Copies of this chain bind each other. A is one copy, B any other.
Amino acid sequence: MAMPIGRLRWAIAEGYIPEWSTGPKPEFTSHETACMLNASDQEAHVSITIFFSDREPIGPYLINLPPRRTVHLRFNELRDPIVPRGKDYSSVIESDVPIVVQHTRLDSRQNANAVLTTIAFAADQ
């Protein structure tokens, strides 16, 4: 792709990992996802910071996005430290190569799963 698509800095103001799930795993495990696309021909070095309502931010979590690849990152799977369940949070995602970020949640606490999505907020360069 001649011209990369995306921005360097993104924010997701909504964040909440439900505390429980129903249905077969892992498809129906309640989760919160940052879908990140690196459509460029260079590896992207991504850092994620998590903000809370009542404590200092944690992170940055460092993730490499290979060229021409997407990573659908579940916040559930972040480690050292883990993201607490049942707590409000927000995230800021920064990259050294333009990427596109979309936020999705599957909430399977009830028999019928619920889903939501939005393109994240893209900061001006």
Contact = CB atoms under 8 A, between A and B. Distances in A.
Contacts of A71: 53
Given A72-B88, A115-B116, A121-B100, A5 B14 contact: no
Contacts of A69: 51-54
Interface of A: 1, 3, 5-6, 9, 11-16, 23, 27, 33, 35-37, 39, 49, 51-54, 56-57, 68-72, 86, 88-90, 92, 100-105, 107, 109-123
Nearest to A102: B13
Given A5-B9, A52-B70, A119-B121, 11 more contacts: A5-B11, A6-B121, A13-B35, A14-B35, A15-B70, A51-B68, A70-B90, A72-B88, A107-B113, A111-B111, A112-B114
Given A5-B9, A105-B115, A70 B49 contact: no
7 nearest CB pairs, A to B: A112-B112, A13-B102, A70-B90, A37-B90, A13-B35, A72-B88, A11-B100
Contact of A1 (B12, B49, B103): B49
